[in-house]
Amino acid sequence: MPFNKDKRLKGINILVAEDVEPDRMVLKDMLDLEGANVIFRNDGQQALNLLQKADKNTFDIVLLDIQMPVMDGYELTQETLKLDPDLPIIGLTAHAISEVKSHCLAAGMVDHITKPVDMDNLITAIKHHTSTKITVAKLTSPKETTEVNDASTLETQLEADTIINWAALQKRYKDRDSTIKALAATFVSSYKETPADIRRAIHTKDAAALSSIAHGMKGSAGYLEAHQLNNLASLTEAQVKQNDINAYITGEKLAIGIEQLADALRGVTD
């Protein structure tokens, strides 16, 4: 039986604001596959500019990353709701903690989905909020993970993981090799300078830059089923927040992990 014979998002018009190219690619693949009409913008200001020019009924829902340059997801939500108070907005973030979800809802979002985004959870949320058109709602995503608090637990997990879970990667993208190859090429291109950026942050003791890089890596690593890298990114970010000097040691491991993942993905694109 062909996968996705019935397109679950057919006819739904979606605006996505996401600054990370691999994340945009995965979302495009998910939403196109399900029949949605999607327009992407790279930051909150670009998305707001489009909404200001568009008719009120152009979009049925907005998906946005919480942490974006120029204008973040919280500010974009507030400005968007001034234009159209009934337009549902779903936040996408690598944070699964309840505090972040509360901030999303307080800003006016109708929901919060954790990266790496599970397609079925996202589709369920989109269908729910586009059918009800409510301003404030809460949809629980059962597959959300908890924030990293226990560094020792993560370090144990890192030893057991491989760089990519290839079986899970094939399953996530329904054995569509062309999608996997395109995503692999995008990751290699988008993150070729990232190990050097991490090492620069370590050398200058720039904790904020290190945390920002680690946070952004979590979604991309998750979409590639690179659990070791996802865990390293989560651990790095957690250690920075805890003012743990070990963050710089973990950051170097993260840089090495990115290089290893890129090498593995080059084998897919060759």
Q: What confidence tens digit (pLDDT) does each residue in 185-230 have?
A: 999 999 999 999 999 999 999 999 999 999 989 888 989 999 889 9
From CA 76, how far away is CA 42, in angstroms rounded? 12
Residue type, 267: G
Burial class (CB in 10 A: 0-12, 13-18, 19+), 150: exposed
When pLDDT is cut at 50, 70 and 90, the band that residue 126 belongs to is: very high
Express each pLDDT in 17-75 by its tens digit: 999 999 999 999 999 999 999 999 999 999 999 999 888 888 999 999 998 989 999 99
Question: Which residues span the domain enclosing 17?
Answer: 13-132
The total of structural domains in the chain comes to 2
CB 129 within 8 A of CB 110: yes
Q: In terms of domains, do 119 and 192 share one?
A: no
DSSP state letter for 148: P
Q: In terms of domains, do 121 and 159 share one?
A: no
When pLDDT is cut at 50, 70 and 90, the band that residue 270 belongs to is: low
Tell me the whole-structure pTM to 2 decimals.
0.64
Q: In terms of domains, do 24 and 121 share one?
A: yes
Q: Residue 105 domain-assigned?
A: yes
Q: Residue 89 domain-assigned?
A: yes
CATH of the domain at 208: 1.20.120
Q: In terms of domains, do 128 and 25 share one?
A: yes
